[in-house]
Amino acid sequence: MRDFANLFEGGRQLGPLLAGALAGHDDPILLPVMPNGIPVALGVVEAHRWPIQSLPVERSDEGVVVARQPGLEGRTVVVIDDGIESGTVARASAAALDRGPAGGSKPKTAELRTVTSL
């Protein structure tokens, strides 16, 4: 893992790695998990102007709920977060993307990236 001063800087370091992973993918979109994925995604898009659509996550005693997201049909989706502790948010995000929006299609490809994977 590389060192970085803050989540934004971690995103700047993640950007080139993500660019390589997304080579050949049409129309990628970043879904930063709120709140800590936002500064990471902003660091990524500083050099790579991919669109961002925030991914609201509700945490409660019953678990994690991620709302299904519209407008992702057929796109390459990259969920961005600051890290993975238990994997609960990652699993909930994957389930929400796998269901697709109500009455809609699922993304073409979905990946999870964190600054702890640097």
Instruction: For the domain covering 7-117, report its CATH number.
Output: 3.40.50.2020
Distances (CA, A) of 92 to 43, 103, 116: 24, 19, 19
Q: Supply the pTM of this predicted model.
A: 0.85
DSSP of 6-65: SHHHHHHHHHHHHHHHHTT-SSEEEEEBTTTHHHHHHHHHTTS---B--B-EEEETTEEE
* pLDDT tens, position by position, 62-109: 889 888 888 888 889 999 998 888 889 989 998 888 887 665 667 888
- What is the Cα–Cα distance from 8 to 50, expressed in whole angstroms? 16
Question: Per-residue confidence at 1, pLDDT binned at 50, 70, 90?
Answer: low
Beta-bridged to residue 59, according to DSSP, are 64
Domain residue ranges of the chain, discontinuous segments joined by +: 7-117
